[in-house]
Structure 1
């Protein structure tokens, strides 16, 4: 009995002595720094180009000089075009039944060609009203995944599938831009005003 009492007393004494030492050592432990949050690395970047069409006179065919449209951009990037009117933004190409015209967009290295034809026959030239010549919005979507094994066509289809899966109506400029801003870095390239009508090109060629 006395032995048990002695052992119990020793255990209590050990606890009493050890606890302050434990508290003291614990207070000296420097808390580890919290891991810094990782910055979101977007897989895409978007070049936003706005072309001012208000300086051009009414016509049916227009040429825009865009040095951002390089051979590499044409081959690897998804490019979306929108025609801004006084009421809305219309995705190109388009059939505008209310106005009776078809708008086509063609792209080449350093140049964009915008043409308007009559919807009735698709051949006759349509002189678009000035209210439909506000701005031409160009979205150049660049894929930065770095996976060179993926074919360019596959990269583009993956991007379109992402937009589709998100329920975004790609015909709506604002909705598309908002969605892209959440998955890509938007780089605004500014306004361009170097627009030449086909009639002006013909005048220049005849003067040479």
Structure 2
């Protein structure tokens, strides 16, 4: 993992708060998707993940807002912002998610106790790095004891979400979301992963009949 490669550069931190940072992008071109050595990077648009360089710690953040300075908004057009590298200088707000060791980027901390500095460099985050951090949550130190549920991919990236079943069922778990957001599918996927990858049993109380089409063989397995 090489999170601070200059080929992934996006911009600089120009404001820091306990919850988020603001990022200055020297060019609007840096917001676009790109690839380097066959690795996909999502760029600097809303919803995308970024990494921020520090002295001891790096930081994973997610962009939640993008805007242009007032003076540049008056001359904006689709053609201009996509091709003029000098006319537009977007800024973005990014929510801080976790920190990690600069010397061991795969070693993540689940809380942010230190913060980036003004002027810190910002880079696009690869799908591979995001996948590693998702797998880090809730896993046991002994890798042989970890079982991962393959739940799908992130909507903003092509990163696979493999979540430790220990982290999901170690304590209490709730799946929430809007109507049609995928709650039932997620429950069904979790049941499937538990049955196929562990020796545990699942009791499914189906109050609304959403799982009535599950085959009888699957029900006996549950």
TM > 0.5: no
Alignment TM-score, normalising by the size of structure 1: 0.26
Greater relative contact order (Cα < 8 A, sep 6+) = 1
Alignment TM-score, normalising by the size of structure 2: 0.24
